[in-house]
Amino acid sequence: MNYIYTIVSILCIGNTVDYLYVSKQSITLILKKNITISKKIVNLYDVTIVNNYIKNIDIAELKPNQNTLIISKKHILLRLMLYDNRYNYDILGPDYVEVKYISDSNINKYTFLPGKKVTLYYKKNGIEIITTAELIQAGKIGEMVKLRIGDTSRIITALLIDENNAIIE
């Protein structure tokens, strides 16, 4: 089963800003649009799946003078199944997300310091767990960081996927 995360990380190459998804089986979705996210996901006009092949998926497009878009997990799932039905996709995160075009972003250059609170996502055997965790080491988006779960002394390692979210892989 592939876990396609609806939480997006930002990949900055030079002056262009792309958005990067990473799945459990190393399938990578790259959003080739200079946009910023308001919550957790994607403004998907041109998405590429890379897994020894390349496909374009036009999930959503902002219309002229439109700067907000609502995208559902079901919409993403249907498009993924349309282009590659070999996998049983399980998309993490909320059922609907709002995407806003704001401007280009360099957020991946920031280092988030210990003490920052993030939402931690974990899914296994059909059960999705969402809780709060605290960074106990500095890290950037896309890096594995150590987190303390809630008010406990339990330390885990998770992937920091944006400034407010991490996921256990």
Domains and CATH numbers, the chain: 2-107 (no CATH), 110-167 (2.30.30.760)
Sign of the C-alpha dihedral, residues 162, 27, 156, 111?
A: negative
Ordered per-residue pLDDT tens for the chain, 169 residues: 333 333 333 333 333 333 333 333 333 343 433 333 322 233 333 333 333 222 333 344 455 666 565 666 676 666 656 555 555 555 555 566 555 444 334 444 567 889 999 888 887 776 778 889 999 999 887 778 999 998 888 999 988 776 777 888 6
> CA–CA separation, 17 vs 144, rounded Å?
21
- Quick one: tokens of 114? 């210990």
What per-residue confidence (pLDDT) applies to 140? 81
> CA–CA separation, 18 vs 44, rounded Å?
11
